[in-house]
Each structure stands twice: as structure tokens, then as C-alpha cells.
Amino acid sequence: MKLIDHLFPGAILSMSTRTAFGWLIRASLGKAYRRLTGAKTNRFCPNHDALVVECGGTLYIGDCVPPHCRLAPVEDYERWIADGEIFNLSVLNVSLSTITQGYAASQWWLRNVNNTPYDLVAFPRLFLKAVFGDWIPAAAGMEFAHWCTESVMQAWRDGAQLDPYQNKNPTPFTTLKRRYERKLGCVARVKGNPQ
């Protein structure tokens, strides 16, 4: 199955990655993940989100990874899936959204997130949120920088005027919870091989 066959502007990609950063995120979200899903391990806990973005008639993956947010070619994602760098990938849509709203979210990401810095400053607070809960109502991190799920949430909230996240500090676990709540629907799954 080719990933490109299931993509559309505004689609949310939820995945696990085989990076050290991904392992750290999975470890911090693991207890909540196991409680929600009944899984015995954190192995398939999602640790990264991205948004499908249309630019110049071509689909890209709007990807926030250190050091900055960028448009990644879909071919890169297909290669990372084949190599086992990305696994357990789900293509999601926002429930009750329209094609026009998906496109609006995509264009908001392109205008407001592309080429901005990755928000490493937010990570200590997001780690504390994973361990203790989200008890601080303000957004974590810097306003001019973004982390993966935050950029997806803002694109849908501010670009499409839909807010399935309803959370100022969303994480990949928030995306999973919204799937369980049916605010996000799964369009396709690509397992991949975590090796």
C-alpha cells in the first residue's frame, strides 16, 4: 500500500518513530497509553504527528522536527516506513470536516508554521504534563515556534475553524485520545516494521 494513495490536504498523520526522541516521548506517554488501550507495552504508542499540506498542487507532509518545521516530500515518508524508521502510521481525518476545511488547515500550516523553529523550550513542560497532568492553562513553549501536535491543532483550530483537540498543549497521546472519542477518524493504517 502506498501512503500517497491515502493522503489529502489537512489529513493528520499519527505515528511511532524509531528515533531516540521518539523513544523518550513514548516512554513519557506510556503509562497513559497502556491505561487507555490496554496494551502491555509502549511499543506502538504514537509519538509524532504531522499534517498533509498542499503546496503548488503537490502534497507534502508538514513536519515539525528539530531544528525547524518543514515540508517533507511524501517519498521521504514512504522510504522511512519501508526502512522501519516510521511504523504504526495512521492517516486521520477530522470528524464532520469538509474538503474545504481540510484545505484551509493545510494552507494555514503552510503560511504560519513552515520554516519556523521547532519548539524545544516546550518539552520540559510537556514532559511534566505527561507525568502529572495538564494543570497550567497557558500554552507551553514559545509563540513563534511549534512542536508537532501543536502545529496540527493550530492549523485545524485557526485555519479551518474546527478544534477537535480542545487542548492548548496537545501531544501525540491527545491525538490518540481524540480517535477514541471519535473526534478524529482513521482513513488508513500503515503498520511498517519497527525492527
Give me the domains of the chain, ranges plus CATH numbers. 3-190 (3.90.1720.10)
Give me the helix-helix angle, 123-132 and 20-37, nearest 10°: 20
- C-alpha 126/C-alpha 148 separation (Å) is 12
Lowest mean pLDDT among 50-64, 111-125, 135-149: 135-149
Spatial CA neighbour of 76 closest among 63, 91, 90, 57: 63
115: left (phi over 0), alpha (psi -120 to 50) or beta: left
Query: Which of 26-30, 61-65, 99-103, 170-174 bottoms out in mean pLDDT, i.e. has the lowest?
Result: 26-30
184 DSSP β-pair partners: 94
- How many Å apart are CA 69 and CA 67, to the nearest integer? 7
How many other β-carbons are positioned within 10 Å of the β-carbon of residue 107? Answer: 18
Q: What is the pLDDT of residues 66-118, one digit of tens each?
A: 889 999 999 999 999 999 999 999 999 999 999 999 999 999 999 999 999 87
Could you tell me the pTM of the whole model?
A: 0.87
- Report yes or no: 95 and 164 within 8 Å, Cβ to Cβ: yes
* Separation of alpha carbons 182 and 105, rounded Å: 19
